[in-house]
Amino acid sequence: MPKQFTTVGVGRLLKEWKEEDFAASLWTTEIPLAVAGFNYGRFKKKEVTDSETKYAIEGYATSEVPDYLRGFPGNLTPSRLTENAMVEAQNSVRLFTQYFGEAPYGRLAITQQPQFNFGQSWPTLVYLPLSAFLDSTQRWMLMGGDAFRFTEFIQEVTPHEVAHQWWGHMVGWASYHDQWLSEGFADFSAGLYLLWTESKPDKYLKYWERARKAILDKNEFGLAANDAGPLWMGLRLNTRRTGGAYNRLVYPKGGYILHMLRSMMYEAQTKDQNFVVMMHDFVKTYYNQSVSTEDFKRMVEKHITPNMNVDGNGSMDWFFDEWVYGTEVPSYAFNYSLSDDGDKTVLKFTVEQSGVSPRFKMLIPIYLEFDGKPFQMGRVFLVGNLKSKEFQTRLPKRPKRVLINAEHDILASQVSVNGK
């Protein structure tokens, strides 16, 4: 490279030197990598080693903005915010190591690139958009009112791209049918990051609500992305009348599928343990392999919980047929009443499922809220367009609210709650 540039490659830097007006560097890797890439620029470098994961997190950003932003008011110095991006990457690596297992690379370089709203991930190397290195005031000066909507992208792009170290690099996909195992899983991971790094659940819940709208909101032809076809069709979802359906379906619906599986595997005593064990097993089993949707289904069946075994045969065909190979989306109506009975409270409720075929099956989570944080009380299993029997249970005290689908546990067209 011209000597004024710093090169950042995949793998590990073995050595670098000067040759007349050029800088040269040699990179190596001790483990197989499916793809290789690099970034270069007039970077300032920062580095930290995470005490928990022992991962080396490097940050690279420029002191000046690209030509297309020169002349804008304000001190636009991307390298000023390098540490913010590094902290987000460090927290992402910690969280995803806990949920998905250790990554083998030992290093992750977070690098600025000149595109304003585009990120990409390579093994050990992440491109972050220039916008991720600007603060909210600077984005407002550049974008006006659009900056508020763009803030959501900024909050999600770093954990999404870091998640590709697992989904796409450690575990690949077999064909275009299976690419949701990369992009959808990375979208799920970004939501998981919001859940565990934000003090309030608002951003996490809004994240899944935006995903739901991306999947179900209709375009100018009156068609939703979900109307284009099953998730499994991948890039073939994009047509003249459903342009952009791939991005609006494979990413958020793929994430929703994993989100729904996590919800079904959740238990009050062990929390996410069932899900974590499954995801560790999935990564370990298929490390450095290209995985199909059916491979993942078999992994879910290996770790199936009793409540998920709705057909009694250990098969998850019912779930994958509905959500991966199908396009149905249910609606729910929840009616409940609370009454006092001595020092106890009696809860009575019914759940109704509609807008689906007669064989559509789903587990609907019921939540109680006592102190501002809903917790999952149990699940109701329904088949087809059906109203459940009336359930009754005694509670130790009166809850503030009774809810279903409180954490967007199910991709639903509509959810109504009526209580007294």
Question: Where residue 209 sits, what CATH number does that domain have?
Answer: 1.10.390.10
pLDDT for residue 256: 98
Number of Cβ within 10 Å of residue 97's Cβ equals 17
Q: Which amino acid is at 227?
A: D
Looking from the CA of 65 toward its CB, the CA atoms found within 13 Å total: 23
Residue 74 makes CB contacts below 8 A (sequence gap 6+) with 137, 138, 141
Task: Kindly state whether residue 1 falls inside one of the protein's structural domains.
Answer: no
CATH of the domain at 94: 3.30.2010.30
Domain identity same for 160 and 186: no
Please work out, in degrees rounded to the nearest 5, the angle formed at the alpha carbon of residue 87 by the alpha carbons of 81 and 90.
145
Domain identity same for 18 and 158: yes
Count of structural domains within the chain: 3
Domain identity same for 126 and 252: no
| 279 pLDDT tier (thresholds 50, 70, 90) | very high
pLDDT (mean) for 80-103: 96
Would you say 240 and 219 are in contact if contact means Cβ atoms under 8 Å apart? no
Please work out, in degrees rounded to the nearest 5, the angle formed at the alpha carbon of residue 207 by the alpha carbons of 201 and 212.
130
CATH of the domain at 393: 2.60.40
Q: How confident is the model over 219-242, as pLDDT tens digits? A: 999 999 999 999 999 999 999 999
Task: Kindly state whether residue 47 falls inside one of the protein's structural domains.
Answer: yes
Domain identity same for 15 and 153: yes
Domain identity same for 234 and 259: yes
Task: Kindly state whether residue 50 falls inside one of the protein's structural domains.
Answer: yes
Residue 401 makes CB contacts below 8 A (sequence gap 6+) with 368, 369, 374, 419
Domain identity same for 161 and 207: no
Of 296, 323, 350, which residue is a domain's last? Answer: 323
Domain identity same for 181 and 318: yes
State the residue for tokens 């996909």: 173
Domain identity same for 55 and 102: yes
For the ranges 8-22, 144-158, 326-340, 368-382, the lowest mean pLDDT is seen at 144-158
| 374 pLDDT tier (thresholds 50, 70, 90) | very high
Structural domain boundaries enclosing 401: 331-419
Residue 73 has pLDDT above 70, yes or no: no
| Alpha-helix runs per DSSP H in 271-366 | 273-285, 293-302, 317-323
Number of Cβ within 10 Å of residue 278's Cβ equals 20
DSSP annotation of 167: B
pLDDT (mean) for 243-272: 97
Residue 74 has pLDDT above 70, yes or no: no
Q: How far apart are CA 208 and CA 152, in angstroms?
A: 12
Domain identity same for 298 and 360: no
Residue 179 has pLDDT above 90, yes or no: yes
Domain identity same for 153 and 280: no
Of 307, 323, 339, which residue is a domain's last? Answer: 323
